[in-house]
């Protein structure tokens, strides 16, 4: 077991993420600390970092270092972005940090910052093509992703702090200022020639401003999930939120539900960048990414430059390893469930591919038992809806949680459950049938030893015949399946028989 601390010295805030790394590079975040330092604010005319803000930054780094040292051996990776990158007294700042804290700060180039944004996003979201945007305090990174590969990237020298300062947006923005700001941004975007080639792609947003936009949206519609990662909004909703806030003064902004009070003075400037880019590129929707620069650094530490091909698979296995779940049993249940799902398509008649939902439910169906066996299905539900699972939409995550619940409690009432507003009647239909398939798969590995190696299904009239291939006797597994036979017949109209 080893510990790693990643420190992100941004222009607006400084963050420490502490992770624990186990065998085969499974990891979990064990602490995260943020301090609003605004190192990129109040720089002198000749481009020097403000002495008071430097002092606060060094004090914050000392605090972060003490947290890392509290874990014993801990490798610390501090990186700095635009404010330090362009500071004329950069060397002085780095020297003070080195001499007082014995800490070597790596100052990222704009290209490196964009790369780590890309690497954090591509390894935590399931997508192939899109435009990534990270609005920082003093810079904005844009990355064009095509077929999961970083095709183009650029770091633009404006962000929440300097845009707000340049156009005096801290207190209020009026229509004339908005026109000037929009004109300025359009000129900047037109300089990036490759942006003309990324029209109509989803915009994937990184950073505090984007998370705040998502939180405002969730508060507005009473969204039942308190999760920012992979939250999605149509462009019309994003622009409507922007229009409803853009002319508010600083006091009015502080009252907006979902908007961080410490970000309220720089929020409009940063939001203007996002809104202008969405219009410029005709992005149909905005996807909030919880992964960015810090996560990109973490994935590089864990995997080098290798991009994760199956984000969901890696995420599920990471949870299995972290919780010390029986990996062999989890994978075998999924193999059996996948086989049943495929063979029973004429029976379940599920449109589309729900395998990601079934896979998640199958591989994590023991997670609640790590808390307590009794009522483990309730622990399952809570844990699944709160786990940092990558590769699933919010709806798919909730459907997986309900699938796990129905695999144990056949009479569970979805209509009186907390997340039902996210589901359609078709979704409920799918969940019910996936729950039965998962229950059968669990029954077939009741001994948890891989005894049943294969199941063949044959539909004949009003019966479903099951042929079991095994390493030993199958009485235990057959008995378990028979106990579920009445419910199977109720849902599918077929009786279960063994060949």
Taking only the tens place, the pLDDT of each residue in 278-332 is 999 999 999 999 999 999 999 999 999 899 999 999 999 999 999 999 999 999 9
Q: Residue 221: its pLDDT value, please?
A: 94
Count up the domains in the chain and report the number.
3
Instruction: Report percent pLDDT > 90 for the chain.
Output: 90
Rounded mean pLDDT of the chain? 95
Longest dimension (CA), the chain: 85
Q: Which of 394, 157, 149 is nearest to 288 (CA)?
A: 394
pLDDT tens sequence across 243-280: 999 999 989 999 999 999 888 999 999 999 999 999 99
| Residues 201 and 182 grouped into a single domain | yes
The yes-or-no verdict on residue 388 having pLDDT over 90 is no
pLDDT of residue 352: 84
Segment 198-212 shows an average pLDDT of: 95
Q: Convert the pLDDT of each residue in 55-79 to its tens digit.
A: 999 999 999 999 999 999 999 999 9
Task: Based on the fold, state whether residues 44 and 132 are members of the same structural domain.
Answer: no
The answer as to whether 300 is a domain residue is no
Q: What's the sign of the alpha-carbon dihedral 280, 281, 287, 293?
A: negative
Q: Is residue 247 part of a domain?
A: yes
Q: Which residues pair with 469 in a beta bridge?
A: 454
Domain membership flag for residue 336: yes
pLDDT at 353: 84
Is the distance from CB of 63 to CB of 354 less than 8 angstroms? no
Question: Which residue, 261, 295, 329, sits at the end of a domain?
Answer: 295
- What mean pLDDT comes out for the span 141-153? 97
In this structure, the answer to whether residues 134 and 77 fall within a common structural domain is: no
Q: Would you state the pLDDT for residue 415?
A: 92
What is the arithmetic mean of pLDDT over 180-187?
Answer: 96
> What's the average model confidence in pLDDT over 11-36?
93
Least Cα distance to 13 among 166, 257, 209, 304 occurs for 209
In tens, the pLDDT along 468-479 reads: 999 999 999 999
- Tokens representing 178? 């908005």
Sheet of 285-289, strands arranged across: 149-156, 140-146, 130-135, 203-206, 285-289, 232-234
pLDDT for residue 225 is more than 90: yes
In terms of domains, do 275 and 316 share one?
A: no
pLDDT of residue 262: 86
Same domain, 347 and 475: yes
Any domain includes 302: no
Check which CATH number belongs to the domain holding 351 and give it: 1.10.3210.10
Residue 303 in domain = no
Residues 417 and 465 reside in one and the same domain: yes
Q: Which of 107, 124, 155 is the last residue of a domain?
A: 107
The pLDDT value recorded for residue 223 is 95
pLDDT in tens, 406-459: 999 988 999 998 899 999 999 999 999 999 999 999 999 999 999 999 999 999
204 band by pLDDT with thresholds 50, 70 and 90: very high
Calculate mean pLDDT across residues 172-187. Answer: 96
pLDDT band at 23 (very low <50, low <70, confident <90, very high): confident
Distance of CA 15 to the CA centre of its chain: 18
Do 496 and 489 contact (CB within 8 A), yes or no? yes
CA distances from 478 to 307, 346, 374, 397 (A): 43, 23, 24, 31
The answer to whether position 343 is within a domain reads yes
Nearest by Cα to 130 from 111, 153, 147: 147
**Is 225 domain-assigned?**
yes
Last residue of a domain, one of 295, 326, 355: 295
Distance CA 342, CA 357 (A): 14
- What's the pLDDT at 25? 85
Query: How high is the pLDDT of residue 24?
Result: 82
Whether residue 275 sits in one domain with residue 228? yes
Say what the pLDDT of residue 220 is: 95
Is 491 domain-assigned? yes
Mean predicted confidence (pLDDT) in 5-10 = 97
| 42 and 97 fall within a common domain | yes
412 and 399 part of one domain: yes
State whether 413 and 477 are in the same domain: yes
Looking at the fold, whether 376 and 442 belong to one and the same domain comes out as yes
Domain housing 493: 311-498
Q: What is the mean pLDDT of residues 155-172?
A: 93
Q: Are residues 101 and 115 in the same domain?
A: no
């Amino acid at each position: 077991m080893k510990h790693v601390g990643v420190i992100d010295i941004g222009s607006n805030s400084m963050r420490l993420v502490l992770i624990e790394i186990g065998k085969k590079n499974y990891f979990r975040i064990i602490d995260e600390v943020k301090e609003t330092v605004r190192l990129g604010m109040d720089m002198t005319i000749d481009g020097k970092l403000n002495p008071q803000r430097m002092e606060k930054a060094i004090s914050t780094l000392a605090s972060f270092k003490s947290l890392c040292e509290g874990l014993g051996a801990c490798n610390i990776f501090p990186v700095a972005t635009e404010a330090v990158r362009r500071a004329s007294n950069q060397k002085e700042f780095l020297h003070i940090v080195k001499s007082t804290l014995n800490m070597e700060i790596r100052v990222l180039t704009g290209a490196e910052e964009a790369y780590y944004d890309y690497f954090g996003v591509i390894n935590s979201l399931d997508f192939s093509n899109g435009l990534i945007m990270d609005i920082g305090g003093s810079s904005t990174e844009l990355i064009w992703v095509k077929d999961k590969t970083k095709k183009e990237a650029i770091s633009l020298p404006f962000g929440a702090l300097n845009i707000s300062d340049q156009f005096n947006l801290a207190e209020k923005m009026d229509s004339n200022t908005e026109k000037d700001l929009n004109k300025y941004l359009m000129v900047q975007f037109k300089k990036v020639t490759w942006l003309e080639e990324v029209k109509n792609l989803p915009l994937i947003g990184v950073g505090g401003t984007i998370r705040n936009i998502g939180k405002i949206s969730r508060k507005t519609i009473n969204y039942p999930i308190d999760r920012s990662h992979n939250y999605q909004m149509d462009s019309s909703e994003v622009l409507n939120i922007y229009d409803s806030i853009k002319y508010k003064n600083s006091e009015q902004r502080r009252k907006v539900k979902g908007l961080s009070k410490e970000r309220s003075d720089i929020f409009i400037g940063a939001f203007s960048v996002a809104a202008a880019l969405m219009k410029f590129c005709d992005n149909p929707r905005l996807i909030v990414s919880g992964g960015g620069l810090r996560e990109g650094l973490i994935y590089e530490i864990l995997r080098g430059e290798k991009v994760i091909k199956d984000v969901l698979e890696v995420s599920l296995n990471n949870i299995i390893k972290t919780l010390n779940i029986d990996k062999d049993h989890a994978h075998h249940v999924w193999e059996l469930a996948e086989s049943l799902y495929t063979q029973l398509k004429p029976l379940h008649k599920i449109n589309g591919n729900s395998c990601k939902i079934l896979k998640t439910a199958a591989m994590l169906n023991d997670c609640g038992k790590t808390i307590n066996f009794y009522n483990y299905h309730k622990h399952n539900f809570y844990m699944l809806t709160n786990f940092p699972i990558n590769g699933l939409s919010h709806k798919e995550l909730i459907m997986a949680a309900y699938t796990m619940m129905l695999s144990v409690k056949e009479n569970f009432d979805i209509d009186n459950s907390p997340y039902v507003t996210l589901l359609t009647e078709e979704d409920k239909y799918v969940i019910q049938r996936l729950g039965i398939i998962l229950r059968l798969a669990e029954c077939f590995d009741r001994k948890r030893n891989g005894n049943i190696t294969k199941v063949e299904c044959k539909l004949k009239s009003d019966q479903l015949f099951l042929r079991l291939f095994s390493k030993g006797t199958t009485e235990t597994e057959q008995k378990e399946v028979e106990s579920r036979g009445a419910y199977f017949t109720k849902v599918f109209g077929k009786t279960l028989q063994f060949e």
